[in-house]
Structure formats: structure tokens, C-alpha cells
Amino acid sequence: MTDVNSVAYWDATYERHAREGTTAITVAERMPAWQGLLPLLPGSGSLLDVGCAGGEFLHFVRQHRPRLELWGIDHSAVAIRLQTEPSATYLCGDGVSLELCADETFDVVYSGHFIEHVADPTQAFASQLRVLRPDGLLIVLFPHGDGPYVEHVWSDLTLDTIAGWLSEAGFSDFGCLPLIEGSPVDQAVITARRRSL
Ligand SMILES: C[S@@+](CC[C@H](N)C(=O)[O-])C[C@H]1O[C@@H](n2cnc3c(N)ncnc32)[C@H](O)[C@@H]1O
């Protein structure tokens, strides 16, 4: 059996969805969270979506932020081939090291339902800190208090868990949005800033 969370696993998942005409991401389930974080997004500058899948979030953002430069990174080439937002730039590579991304490049780094799949979240957040411009904004959307799930390395995540990882990675100035309940799991959004020294 293919390792869960490996590139092969995600490629096979997205290939199956493409074959069956379904989507790995149910946009309707994400929508209440995406609507909630929209006011946080600037009108211009650049945004990176880490674990962007087929660019569904980027497509949503484009409808509301026509001047924002959009970037997405995912390790699944199959996901990226299914991209839904042609105005975005897609990178196929590791979202933990972000080795394809230069230092201090983005005004906003967003990840949605990504961090619970990562073995070393502190390393992932440290990379996100590195690619953010000084005073740049980090936005993390994650399933809140979700029980064990086959693809999740981490379960029962809370705002405190994520804030702990973010602190270890060097972030400060945390904020959160009201919990988004249901649809179908509770979702939470935590924000942080890369502060200039
Ligand atoms: C559960 S999906 C979430 C997709 C989307 N962000 C959303 O909100 O639904 C997790 C995504 O992260 C990607 N992913 C997991 N580990 C990764 C890694 N180390 N580097 C890059 N992408 C990764 C997977 O390929 C998958 O597209």
C-alpha cells in the first residue's frame, strides 16, 4: 500500500477523483471559512497557498482580489494539472521546506487543511516564516478538534497546539477568527505575523 501523505498517495487520490468526476476538496465545505478570512486579505501584493491542491482557494480569492498576485505550491503534479485558477502561478514541490521559494517573497502565506498532514509542523512554519516578507501575514486554516483520520498525522488540533508550533517557528502576534462549526468538521483560523527585527 502507498504511504499515506506521500506524493504517490496524493497523485492517486487526485487521479481517482478526476476519473470519477468528483473533487478531493468540497468547495462548499471550505466556503464558510474562506468567506470569514477574506477581510484579512490585502488588495495587492502576493499570496502563496501551501498545499494548494487544484487551486480552489486561489480561484475563490481571484473573484474578490483581482490585483493580488497568486501562487500555489503542492507536491502532487496531478493536483496541479487539475488547476482551477489560470491566473495563478503553480509550483510542484515540497511545501514543508518550500525550497522552490525565495526568502521574503510573499505578503501573505496561507495554508488550508495542510498542517495536519505534516510530520514536522514547526519546520513547515519556519519555512513559511522564511518566505514571508517582514510584517507579512500567515493564515492557517485547520480542522479543529477532529478525531483520528487516516490521512492526518495530527488529530484533536486546537488553537493552542498550532500557536505552540508557530511560536517555536518564530511567529508572534497571534489572532484567531470565530470557530466555524460543522461543514462537516469544525474549522479554525489562526493568524500570525512575521515581525521585522
Ligand atoms: C487535505 S489536502 C488540502 C487541500 C486544500 N488546501 C484544501 O483546503 O482542501 C492536503 C494537500 O496538501 C498536499 N500536501 C501534503 N503534504 C505536502 C507536502 N509535504 N508538500 C506539498 N504538498 C503537500 C497534498 O498533495 C494535498 O493537495
pLDDT in the model for residue 4: 82
Q: Is pLDDT at 1 greater than 90 in this prediction?
A: no
> Is residue 190 very low, low, confident or very high in pLDDT (cuts 50, 70, 90)?
very high
Ligand 1 mutation pick, 114, 118, 149, max ligand atoms within 8 A of CB: 114
Q: Is residue 195 within 8 Å of 173, Cβ to Cβ?
A: yes
Ligand 1 mutation pick, 15, 37, 48, 74, max ligand atoms within 8 A of CB: 74
- The pocket around ligand 1, CB under 6 angstroms, is made up of 5, 10, 25, 30, 51-53, 57, 74-76, 79, 94-96, 112-114, 117
**Which domain covers residue 40, as residue numbers?**
25-193
In a domain, 10, yes or no: no
In a domain, 102, yes or no: yes
In a domain, 12, yes or no: no
Please tell me the pTM assigned to this model. 0.96
In a domain, 131, yes or no: yes
Ligand 1 nearest atom to the CA of residue 10, by list position: 25
Lookup: cell for 134: 517582514
Q: 143 pairs with which residues across the strands?
A: 187
Ligand 1 nearest atom to the CA of residue 52, by list position: 6
Residue in 65, 195, 189, 180 with CA at minimum distance from that of residue 133: 195
In a domain, 45, yes or no: yes
In a domain, 20, yes or no: no
> Is residue 147 very low, low, confident or very high in pLDDT (cuts 50, 70, 90)?
confident
Per-residue HEC secondary structure of 157-172 comes to CCHHHHHHHHHHHCCE
Q: Cell 492517486 sits at which residue?
A: 12
In a domain, 166, yes or no: yes
Q: Is residue 47 within 8 Å of 128, Cβ to Cβ?
A: no
Q: Is pLDDT at 96 greater than 90 in this prediction?
A: yes
pLDDT in the model for residue 2: 67
In a domain, 35, yes or no: yes
Residue in 105, 112, 111 with CA at minimum distance from that of residue 69: 105
CATH number, domain with residue 37: 3.40.50.150
Structurally, the chain folds into a number of domains equal to 1
